Amino acid sequence: MRREMKTIGAAKFKEQCLALLDSLDEDGLVITRRGKPVARLLPFDYQHSELIGSLRHKVKIEGNVLSTDIDSNADAES
């Protein structure tokens, strides 16, 4: 069952920003202006930050990765 996302107006968010950050849950918060969504605030996902650089030293590149493997002299010889 999907829960309804919490929403708050921009002015009220500005007033209560620090308290809202302290009580932020996994679903996040939608910030609205004149009833229309303008931003979504989500808690930081530490799991994704660990992905950066996680494959370092585990991948080996062999050969010229920029090469198209086409002999550039083939046209000159014809």
Residue pLDDT tens, the chain, 78 long: 567 789 999 999 999 999 999 999 989 999 999 999 999 999 987 766 666 677 777 777 777 778 777 766 665 555
Does residue 11 belong to any structural domain of this protein?
Answer: yes
Give residue 62's pLDDT. Answer: 79
pTM over 0.85: no
**CA 55-58-64 angle, 5° bins:** 100
Flag whether 39 is in a domain.
yes
DSSP state of 63: S
Examine residue 65 and state whether it is found in any structural domain, yes or no: no
Residue 25 lies in a domain: yes
Instruction: Tokens for 70, please give them.
Output: 């086409």
Q: Is residue 35 part of a domain?
A: yes
Give the Cα-Cα-Cα angle 60, 66, 67 (nearest 5 degrees).
110
Q: Would you say residue 27 lies in a domain?
A: yes
The range of the structural domain enclosing residue 24 comes to 1-43
Query: What is the count of structural domains for the chain?
Result: 1
Separation of alpha carbons 28 and 58, rounded Å = 35
* CATH number of the domain that residue 38 is part of: 3.40.1620
